[in-house]
Copies of this chain bind each other. A is one copy, B any other.
Amino acid sequence: MKGREFKDAMYDGLAKLLKALSNPFRLEIIEMLSQGEKSVEGIVQSTNLTIANASQHLQILKNNNIVKSRKEKQYVYYSLVSDDFLSLYQHVIKYAVHEIAELEKIMNRQREDNKSLNAVNLDELETMIGNENILLLDVRPSVEFEFGHITGAVSIPMNELMTHLKDFSKDKEIIAYCRGPFCVLADEAVKVLSEKGYKVRRLDEGYPEWKMKQLESN
């Protein structure tokens, strides 16, 4: 193989991977799967996709070694292929959110609207661990909590939050988190709780970022 052919083969392969990533719905699917495996139907429920279209996107992700699938009963469950990929995906997000002015602006506006501008980051969270006056609140669906969560967190899915208000003390500071920086559940939780007079902030990132950080520090 000549030098030019080799280079072309490598760049073509690299471009193919990036092409597989360069679609908003596929990115959303990746974010869903970073919470744990999901069936096609499970993915469809939290996106605007039709089943057939979601399946097509999943095939593309699968052919590019981004997700893998297993079959159980009638269901096909998809999941991310490795933590190495998750780490890459999070690097992309982190870059986009901090270095692309346009995205940073959209994010800040969203957080302003939800009174969650004053977010806690993972480093700060670490200093709060074991603090009696902090309540770490996971507002993702309970399946996702069960699949994995930040140590010490309490699970109250967003749609059950209103019925559990009595469980919170107004003396404690509540830190709400969900799937990651793009996840709006934590923003909604902050909005609702702060309007009721609770001390509440959101975590800047989510469970997958915390998980990767744990892995790296070992």
Contact = CB atoms under 8 A, between A and B. Distances in A.
A49 B187 CA distance: 47
A212 interface: no
A11 B100 contact: no
A99 B65 contact: yes
Interface stretch (A35-43, A103-111, A137-145, A147-155): A103-111
Contacts of A21: 15, 18, 22
A88 interface: yes
Contact of A10 (B1, B6, B15, B107): B107
A212 to B, nearest CB: 13
Given A1-B109, A21-B22, A24-B15, A7 B184 contact: yes
Interface in A87-104: 87-88, 91-93, 95-96, 98-103
Contact of A13 (B102, B113, B187, B188): B102
A22 B28 CA distance: 18
B13 A22 contact: no
A151 B150 CA distance: 43
Given A10-B103, A93-B14, A3 B82 contact: no
A28 B7 contact: yes
A84 B93 CA distance: 12
A28 to B, nearest CB: 5
Contacts of A14: 24, 27, 92-93, 96, 103
Interface of A: 1, 3-4, 6-15, 17-19, 21-28, 48, 65, 81-82, 84-85, 87-88, 91-93, 95-96, 98-103, 106-107, 109-110, 113, 182, 184, 187-188
Given A1-B106, A3-B187, A13-B106, 19 more contacts: A6-B184, A7-B28, A8-B24, A10-B103, A10-B182, A11-B25, A11-B27, A13-B103, A14-B103, A15-B21, A15-B26, A17-B92, A18-B92, A19-B19, A65-B101, A81-B99, A82-B99, A84-B99, A88-B95
